[in-house]
């Protein structure tokens, strides 16, 4: 019987170890270049939050982890996945 275990991966920005399920996965696919979620090849992981996304983008952490260029569109897609929380906090009284 196969034991189900938690697979930990390190975020490229904050270096925290987290359950793989909770992280965004960016893959350098052999065929398609840099892709998200699924692919075959070298992978980098990122926490799904604005701070880590920004840090990764600013310091080129994904590029370094994957050892290739990461297109701007990849960051744009990830940015869209962020849950907008600012609007919820600024509630009018």
Smallest gap from Cβ 57 to Zn ion, in A, equals 12
- Selected from 10, 14, 29, 35, the binder of Zn ion by CB under 5 A is 14
Point out which span in 6-14, 33-41, 69-77, 81-89 binds Zn ion (CB under 5 A): 6-14
Per-residue DSSP letter, 12: T
Q: Are 75 and 57 in contact (CB under 8 A)?
A: yes
Q: Please work out, in degrees rounded to the nearest 5, the angle formed at the alpha carbon of residue 79 by the alpha carbons of 36 and 13.
A: 75
Residues 49-88 touching Zn ion, rule: CB under 5 A, are: 52
For position 47 contacting Zn ion by CB under 5 A, the verdict is yes
Smallest gap from Cβ 10 to Zn ion, in A, equals 9
52: β partners: none
Per 3-state DSSP, the chain is made up of helix, strand and coil in percentages (nearest 5) of 35, 25, 40
Give the binding site for Zn ion (CB under 5 A): 11, 13-14, 47, 52
């Amino acid at each position: 019987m196969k034991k189900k275990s938690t697979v930990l991966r390190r975020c490229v920005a904050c270096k925290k170890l987290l359950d793989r399920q909770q992280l965004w996965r960016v893959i350098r696919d052999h065929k398609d270049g840099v892709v998200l979620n699924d692919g075959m090849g070298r992978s980098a992981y990122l926490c799904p939050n604005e701070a880590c996304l920004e840090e990764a983008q600013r310091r080129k952490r994904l590029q370094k982890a994957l050892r290739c260029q990461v297109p701007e569109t990849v960051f744009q897609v990830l940015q869209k996945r962020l849950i907008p929380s600012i609007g919820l906090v600024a509630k009018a009284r």
